[in-house]
Structures are given as C-alpha cells and as structure tokens.
Amino acid sequence: MHPEHTAIAPAIDTSSAGFLPPGLLNRLESSGPRYTSYPTADRFVEAHGPEQHVLALAQRAQGIGGAVGSSAPLSVYVHVPFCESLCYYCACNKIVTKHHERGAEYLKLLDAEIDMWTAGLGGRPRVTQLHLGGGTPTFLSDTELTQLTERLKQAFEWLPGIEASIEVDPRTVNAARLAHLKALGFNRLSLGIQDFDLRVQQAVHRVQSFADVAQLMQDARTLGYQSINLDLICGLPLQTIASFDRTLQQVIELRPERIALYAYAHLPQRFKAQRRIHSADIPLPETRLQMHAQAISAFMQAGYEHIGMDHFALPSDALAQAKRQGRLHRNFQGYTVQPDGDLIGLGVSAISRVGASYCQNAKTIEEYADALAQGQWPVVRGIALNRDDLVRRATIMALMCQGRLDFQGLADAHLIDPKKYFAAELEALKSHQEQGLVQISDQAVEVTPLGWFFVRSVAAVFDRFLQLEGAREKFSKII
C-alpha cells in the first residue's frame, strides 16, 4: 500500500455532532463484527482441536499452508481472567474473586502452556508485540508479574522496540506499581475508564475518580511510558448527552495518546453480569447515536486522528503515523503497527492465529487445567481457512486497515479476477457508494473520509457468513 492511497484525515466538517448525517446513522445502525479476525470467532468449530493445531504449527515450521514461516516475529497475548470486583457492563471472560492465591496457581498453568508453545515452535521465537489483558492483569502481585514477564523473556526473544502493553484497572495501581511495570519492560498502558460521571459509575459498579486517573497518567508520563490509551463506552446506563460531554472534555484534558470508544452492547441473555443493569436506564438508540457522533466531533476538534471504527490517536502516536503511511494492521489485539503475522494466545479463552488457522483455548480454568495436566493442548475449537476465507480475509483487512481494496494486488496475490469473484459484493456496495462511504473504480474500492466511520459496514459486505439468518445479532452495533 502506497501512502498516497491512504485516507489520511477526514475532509469533512467535524465542528458539530451533526457532521454525521442522522439519516445515515439510522440506516447503518446495525450489528456487525469488529474483524479482529476473519472468519470471526463465532465461526470456530469444535472439530478443529489439538490435532489440527499441531498440524498448523508443523505447516508454520515448513512455511506452507498459508503460514508466514518459522522465522517471522510473533505477537503474544496473555489472558489474566481475575478481577476483584464485577463491572456490570463487562462481556469479557473473567473470574471475580478476592482470593489472590489463585494468581500463583494460574501462573503454573501458563508456564505449562508456554512450554508447549516453545516446543511446538522450536527454538526461542522472536516477539515484537506483547499484550497482557483480562480480566485485570494487575490482579497479580508485583512478584507474580515479575515471574510472568521473566518467564516470557526466557521463552521468547523480545526484539528491540517491542510494543509491550498491559491493561490496567486504575483502582489497582499506584505510582510504585507503574514504576515496577515499566522496569519489567512494559512501555504502553491501557486504562479502563468507561465514564467519569459518578452516577454512571455507580450504575455499572466501577467507581474511580477523575483526580486519581489524572494522577496515574501524570505518574506514567514521568516514568516514560510511550503511549497511554483510555477506554470509553457509549450507551451505558444513566448516560446523558450532557453527562457524556463532561466525560469527553475530561478525557481531552488528560490528553491520552490513544482513545478507544466502544458502543455498549446490552445482551443480558448472554452475559450474566449485565442482568444487574436496569434496561430502562440505558439511553435510547437515537440518544446513543447522538452521543457517539458528539464524541467523534469532540476528539477530532481536539486534534485526534480517526484511526478506524472507534479508535483515535494523536498525530504523533505510532498508530496515527502508521495510518498515514499505509502500515496499519489488525489482529486480536485491535489496530496495530506490527506487521501482519502469527499471534500466540496464552491462558483461558485466548485465541491464537497460526498461518491459515485460528484456535481458541478452553474458557474455564478447570477445563484448561485438565488438558495441560494430560500434556495436551488446551485448544477446544478453531477453524482452518479455505481458499475463499483467505481471499476474503485479505479483502476485509485491506479495507479495515488501508481503506483501499486494490483489484490488481488482490488478483496477483490470490490468482483471481476480483471483479468477477466479488461481482455480487460490488453490486451490493453500490448503496454504500450512493451514501458517500466508498468510491468504486476500475482499479479499486476506496473508503471515503466519511466511510472510515462506518468501515465495519463496508467490510461486512464481503463477509459470506453474515448472509446467514440471524448472524448479525451476535455482534455489537457498528456505530
């Protein structure tokens, strides 16, 4: 991808929340995948288990079957499922407990899985990206975090310039803990904020003051962290346009390098914790859409660049630079500057990508531990991509990351005629062109500045699984 082919900044007036046409918001107010993978995790099957995973590792070692080769650097994700208290909005795989001794037990399980990975990959694989997520990784003690990171450094070669990030509940850290994490090699933080309004925080059982977060960010910057991300959620109970605007202004005052703005998906039938939220307290869809547009306007006016979907970054941040230069990629950790490649997922429910294969670990500690005790991979489901999946993965990721699907490039890489292969999809995409979201030419499909805000909807046109009845209802709202 050449930089001149990348949509660099919206050439639209973002001076008010009305810059996103209300009619367009309503038409596209549907559900869809976030495309951290394709096919998405809901398409994984139990028939793809440990044997298929071992085959994928063998293919990686040989550089066949869609694999990138055994010498290519990796990304590593570690899932720490524990939390001290329950956040009612949460849809993550977590274990709420105050028994911190469970952390030591879990580290032993991770150690066993790491051994399996190093044996399966051979040697000491190189790593350019590490992310600790959860749950709450800082549920672990400083000693346990030291033990975990030293084990990861022993098993994997941390390359110079590695992006090492950790998700942090602001209620679980102080300046001393941040200093300890920095000494361990972490250089990026992601703080779960969600909202600064006290009534909203009480409604979702996550109270943390603006002053405390501001102090943590000041401490982190003094310590030299390269980047701080703040997570926000739009559509939480008791949020109003006025209260959310106050949160937005407070976030802008903190000036994080990155902002992730998620839409709350209320699915109490799937996520037990959400049953504690009163449905009557949730903002109406039209209010939520207005708040979302309000947030986009506020961030753009404050100098943030829109990376894609619900992610924003300051122009000086590596993510914004990668967007401008056409080097943006996407994996299970979201948008990243790391080259497209394999990802190791460690821990319960973690998802891995190895070449043309995805696999997911058991979701409960009991099942995860049982597999490891028997010397077996804790993989319980996954999928091996066929030729059509690979073509569509390349197409969707090109749109999600570069905002451009180059027909000749796709033809050269996959030996197809994209216009014939995607004849039905290109026809369906004409409605997006009429709405000003894409431009379709003989050479390419290009996402417009306005279309970047709806890029999930553009990419979804090429998702063959979404054609199945009821498939969209499994996902969060596109905007």
Q: Can you read off the two tokens belonging to residue 223?
A: 């310590």
Among 53-62, 146-155, 363-372, 419-428, the range scoring the smallest mean pLDDT is: 53-62
Q: Which of 158, 97, 172 is nearest to 130 (CA)?
A: 158
Ordered alpha helix ranges (H), 236-308: 241-254, 285-301
Residue 94: the pLDDT is: 93
Q: Is 185 annotated as a binding residue?
A: no
Q: What share of the chain in percent tops pLDDT 70?
A: 90
pLDDT at 71: 75
pLDDT in tens, 300-341: 999 999 998 889 999 999 999 999 998 998 888 888 888 878
Token pair in block for residue 142: 């400083």
Find out whether 92 is annotated in a ligand binding site: no
Residue 62 near residue 116, CB atoms below 8 Å = no
Whole-angstrom distance, CA of residue 96 vs CA of residue 133:
15
pLDDT tier for residue 60 given thresholds of 50, 70 and 90: confident
**pLDDT confidence bin for 61, thresholds 50/70/90:** confident
Question: Which range (32-41, 294-303, 389-398) has the least confidence?
Answer: 32-41
Spatial contact of 448 and 19, defined as CB atoms under 8 Å apart: no
Q: Which amino acid is at 174?
A: N
**Closest to 102 (Cα-Cα) out of 148, 149, 139, 142:** 139
Question: Is 90 a known ligand-binding residue?
Answer: yes
- Give the per-residue pLDDT at 134: 92
Cα 60 to Cα 58: distance, rounded to the nearest angstrom: 5
Query: In what side-by-side order are the strands of the sheet with 444-447?
Result: 404-406, 444-447, 438-440
Question: What's phi and psi for 80, nearest 5 deg?
Answer: -110, 105
pLDDT > 60? residue 476 = no
Asked if the model's pLDDT at residue 279 lies above 80, the reply is yes
Q: Does pLDDT of 368 surpass 50?
A: yes
pLDDT surpassing 60 at residue 469: no
How many residues in the chain? 479
265 among annotated binding-site residues: yes
Give yes or no for residue 273 having a pLDDT over 60. yes
Residue 134 counted as an annotated binding residue: yes
User: Whole-angstrom Cα distance, residue 204 to residue 396?
Assistant: 34
Radius of gyration of the chain (CA): 22
Please state whether 281 falls in left (phi above 0), alpha (psi between -120 and 50) or beta: alpha
Q: Give the whole-angstrom CA distance, residue 301 versus residue 266.
A: 30
Binning pLDDT at 50, 70 and 90, where does residue 5 land?
Answer: very low
CATH, range 68-345:
3.80.30.20
pLDDT in the model for residue 7: 32
User: According to the annotation, is 355 in a ligand binding site?
Assistant: no
Position 67 scores a pLDDT of 47
Q: Please choose, from the candidates 384, 382, 380, 400, the residue with its C-alpha nearest in 3D space to the C-alpha of residue 463.
A: 400
- Is pLDDT larger for residue 83 or for residue 7? 83
250 is an annotated ligand-binding site residue: no
Please give the pLDDT value at position 161: 92
Q: What is residue 1's predicted lDDT score, i.e. its pLDDT? A: 33
Residue of 22 and 410 predicted with greater confidence:
410
**Spans of all domains in the chain:** 3-21+387-474, 68-345
- How far from 473 is each of 274, 363, 378, 426, 459, CA to CA, in Å? 17, 22, 29, 24, 17
Amino acid at 195: D
Residue 99 binned pLDDT confidence (cut-offs 50, 70, 90) = very high
Q: Which of 70, 137, 77 is nearest to 351 (CA)?
A: 77
DSSP element (H, E) containing 230: strand 227-234
The predicted pLDDT at position 4 comes to: 29
β-bridge partners, 379: 361
Q: Is 77 annotated as a binding residue?
A: yes
pLDDT tens per residue, range 381-435? 999 999 999 999 999 999 999 999 999 999 999 999 999 999 999 999 999 999 9
What are 119's two structure tokens? 């044996």
Contact 98, 58 (CB under 8 A): no
Answer yes or no: is 89 a known binding residue: yes
Residue with tokens 């793809």: 48
pLDDT over 90, % of the chain: 75
Contacts 24+ apart (CB under 8 A), 139-142: 139/80, 139/82, 139/83, 139/84, 139/100, 139/103, 139/172, 140/80, 140/82, 140/103, 140/107, 141/100, 141/103, 142/177, 142/180
**Is 23 assigned to a binding site?**
no
Burial class (CB within 10 angstroms; exposed 0-12, middle 13-18, buried 19+) of 143: exposed
Provide the mean pLDDT of the chain. 89
Q: What is the DSSP letter of 264?
A: P
Q: Per DSSP, which regions of 87-187 are E strands?
A: 95-96, 126-134, 157-168
Residue 368 tokens read as 């995860």
For 352-389, the three-class secondary structure string (H helix, E strand, C coil) is EECCCEEEEECCCHHHHHHHHHCCCCCEEEEEECCHHH
Residue 77 has pLDDT above 90, yes or no: yes
Give mean pLDDT, residues 139-164: 96
Q: At what angle do helices 101-121 and 50-62 cross, to 10 degrees?
A: 50
**Which residues, other chains included, contact 322 with Cβ-Cβ below 8 Å and sequence gap of 6+?**
328, 329, 337
Contact 106, 82 (CB under 8 A): yes
CATH classification number, 3-21+387-474, choose in 1.20.58.220, 2.40.50.140, 1.10.10.920, 1.10.3720.10: 1.10.10.920
Q: Tell me whether residue 106 is annotated as binding.
A: no
Summarised one tens digit per residue, pLDDT across range 423-462 is 999 999 999 999 999 999 999 999 998 888 889 899 999 9
Q: Is 135 annotated as a binding residue?
A: yes
Element (H, E) at 42: none
Q: Which two tokens stand for residue 131?
A: 């992310």
**pLDDT at residue 26, as a whole number:** 57
Q: Is the pLDDT of residue 144 over 90?
A: yes
